[in-house]
Amino acid sequence: MAFKCRCYVENQDGPVEGNMDDGAILVYEMNFEVYLPFDTEQNKATGSRRITPFTLTCEKGKQTPLIVKTLCEGQTCPQIKLDWYQIDDSGSESIYFTTLFENAKIIQIKEIMPSTKYQASENIGYLDVVSFVAQKYTWTHAPTGVEYTESMIV
């Protein structure tokens, strides 16, 4: 079962406050891919790794105007951090994974209103789908401290 994760955005003006008590933005869905381009005929890699834009879905909230401002002004976000949670042995939520994006650029925001004609959508609020890229990515498994950093700076 997937748990929601928390996103912390810092733009050039400081922290972008989300709707959570700690200022986080609650993330409902995300998509991200790291891959090697390959030739399907010869079944071999044809280039170096590619990192797609990171896309997350969150509820529209007080952070929305600041995210739009960050995009429209072309600001660089010193960091965007995602904290991923799981239920630990004591039954409490604990961070088990962190993804850190440094020198990130928000490249797209889609504002979504699910159809009001379908019963399946009646409990879904207004959503923002935000995409960004970064110069540096760090993946950390919190319980073990195992970490990998990939830099896009040449």
pLDDT at 150: 94
**Residue 97 to residue 143: CA distance in whole angstroms:** 8
pLDDT at 131: 98
Instruction: Tell me the H-state helices in the chain.
Output: 64-72
pLDDT at 106: 97
Report the CATH number at residue 86: 2.30.110.20
Range of the domain at 119: 5-151
Q: How does pLDDT run across 85-127, given as a tens digit for each residue?
A: 998 889 888 999 999 999 999 999 999 888 777 787 777 889 9
Structure tokens at 81: 């951090």
pLDDT at 2: 66
| Residue 85 CB burial class (10 angstroms; 0-12, 13-18, ≥19) | middle
| Residue 56 CB burial class (10 angstroms; 0-12, 13-18, ≥19) | buried
Q: How many domains does the chain have?
A: 1
Supply the pTM of this predicted model: 0.87
Of residues 66, 136, 129, the one with CA closest to residue 101? 136
pLDDT at 113: 85
pLDDT at 125: 85
Residues of the chain with pLDDT under 50: none
